[in-house]
Amino acid sequence: MATLLLLPGDGIGPEVCAEVRRVAAALVPNLVVEEAIYGGASYDAHGTPLTDEVRDRALASDAVLMGAVGGPKWADAPRHLRPEAGLLNLRKAMNVYANLRPAYCFEALAGASSLKTELVSGLDIMFVRELVGGVYFGEPRGIDVLPDGQKKGYDTALYTTSEIERAGRVAFELARGRKNKVHSAEKSNVMESGLLWKQVITELHKREYPDVELEHILADNCAMQLVRAPKQFDVIVTDNLFGDILSDAAAMLTGSLGMLPSAAIGDPNKPGLYEPIHGSAPDIAGKGLANPLAAILSFEMALRWSLKEVEAADRLLAAVKGALDSGARTRDLGGELSTVQMGDAVLCRI
């Protein structure tokens, strides 16, 4: 029997994960749902955001679904023990190198975007963000004291050929099942790692995916095009840092950050890591106001990508669409529903 490990984490994480639990029980009763402590909560209990035990349980499960990590409470913890470090260490340990972040506009929410409805209606972009390399992990990094007493802070943006290739492959494969178009975003005009990114993607395309349409785009231009004419994009492949930024911008096109899921995948035989894109939202945590749909849709991606329950995933997606079509809205979407009531709106359609 397949196992899903829930890591509710901090802030609104536990509230939205509770709704995932209810949905899982109704939709796939055979799925074993386990839970472990993680993030700031784990730091408070064990002095580390990710214990070896929880890491090993994650590696032994079929899929891992995380709620959210971090919050002002842990702002002064040493960097390597901050809740965010637990997330980065988990991504690295699971080697989930491709982060799939859909920016998909549900028809019922097209009016909720800060952009004109006609610009976002029908929007369906898939980001492939490289997730275990680049400036997030590059060495050396640090803050040193210079002889004159000044300080020097530095990070290293670094990619190898194989790291770029494996992310690129995921993007090209995905595009073949969609509109067959990939934009590769980098800053090859100023960065060496960006130039290598462009060269490797160009070669990979020529060698293995000549049937897919490829366009190179500078990351800053990509940001501009995303808010000017977002429907020109199908799949966007980019590095860890640009992917972090561009996917947040794209998320807002769809109405609310509270709507968007993500899937981090690597080796197809290994568990994937599923996370809503939103953060821990400490300002509304514990109040029952959070939108659980990003977490529920992350579960939908887990069903599809790791648990091989495609039919259940289709049913869940239809239930979420049905709930939105019926007017179900949490506060972030301009409505009044609580977290649990939004969960109910989905559950009654399963």
Question: Least distance in Å: CB of 244 to Mg ion?
Answer: 4
- Give which of 76, 38, 28 is closest to 313, Cα–Cα: 28
Residues 79/51, Cβ–Cβ less than 8 Å: no
Tell me, letter by letter, the H, E, C secondary structure of 115-180.
Answer: CCHHHHCCCEEEEEEECCCHHHCCCCCEEEECCCCCEEEECCCCCCHHHHHHHHHHHHHHHHCCCC
- Could you give the string, one character per residue 35-74, with x where binding to ligand IPM holds by CB under 6 A and - elsewhere? -----------------------------------x----
Q: Taking a C-beta distance cutoff of 8 angstroms, is the pair 159, 133 a contact? A: yes
Contact (CB, 8 A) for 281 and 11:
yes
Q: Are strands 124-130 and 98-104 parallel, antiparallel or unpaired?
A: antiparallel
Name residue 71's amino acid. Answer: G
The catalytically annotated residue of 248, 270, 321, 344 is: 248
- How far apart are CB 87 and ligand IPM at their closest, in Å? 5
Our CB check for ligand IPM shows the closer of 89 and 202 to be 89
CB of 314 to ligand IPM, least distance (A): 26
- Token look-up 């990710």 returns 50
**C-beta of 31 vs 87, nearer to ligand IPM:** 87
Report the residue number, 79 or 151, with the smaller CB distance to ligand IPM: 79
Would residue 38 show up in a list of annotated catalytic residues for this protein?
A: no
Options 104, 187, 239, 274, the catalytic residue: 187
87 binds ligand IPM (CB under 6 A): yes
Concerning whether 52 is annotated as a catalytic residue, the answer is: no
Applying the rule CB under 5 A, the residues between 216 and 255 that interact with Mg ion are: 244
Residues 213/236, Cβ–Cβ less than 8 Å: no
- Whether 136 sits among the annotated catalytic residues: the reply is yes
Report in angstroms the alpha-carbon separations of 302 from 3, 45, 132, 256, 348: 11, 28, 19, 21, 21
Bridge-partner residues for 205, per DSSP? none
Residue 309 contact among Mg ion, ligand IPM, none, beta carbon within 5 to 8 Å by kind:
none
Q: Which of 33, 35, 57, 84 lies at the binding interface for ligand IPM (CB under 6 A)?
A: 84
Q: What is the DSSP letter of 349?
A: T
Size of the site for Mg ion (CB under 5 A): 1
Return the exposure string of 10-45: e unless at least 16 CB atoms fall within 10 Å of the residue's CB, then b.
Answer: bbbbbbbbbbbbbbbeebbeebebeebbbbbbbbee
87 binds, among Mg ion, ligand IPM, none (CB under 5 to 8 A by kind): ligand IPM
Q: How far is the CB of 277 from Mg ion (least distance, A)?
A: 7
Site for ligand IPM in 232-251 (CB under 6 A): 244
CB 105 within 8 A of CB 117: no
Catalytic residue chosen out of the listed positions 211, 220, 267, 325 = 220
Closest approach, Cβ 42 to ligand IPM, in A, equals 15
Active-site residue flag, 220: yes
Of 87 and 259, the one with the shorter C-beta distance to ligand IPM is 87
Between 6 and 273, name the residue whose CB sits nearer to ligand IPM: 273
Q: Tokens representing 174?
A: 């995905």
Q: Which does 67 bind (CB under 5 to 8 A by kind): Mg ion, ligand IPM, none?
A: none
Active site annotation includes 124: no
Between CA 259 and CA 269, with CA 264 as vertex, the angle to 5 degrees is: 135
Which residue is it, tokens 């290598």? Answer: 196
Q: Which residue is nearest to Mg ion (CB)?
A: 244
CB of 243: closest distance to ligand IPM in angstroms?
Answer: 8
Q: Could you list the active site residues?
A: 136, 187, 220, 244, 248
Binding site for ligand IPM (CB under 6 A): 70, 84, 87, 244
Binding site for Mg ion (CB under 5 A): 244
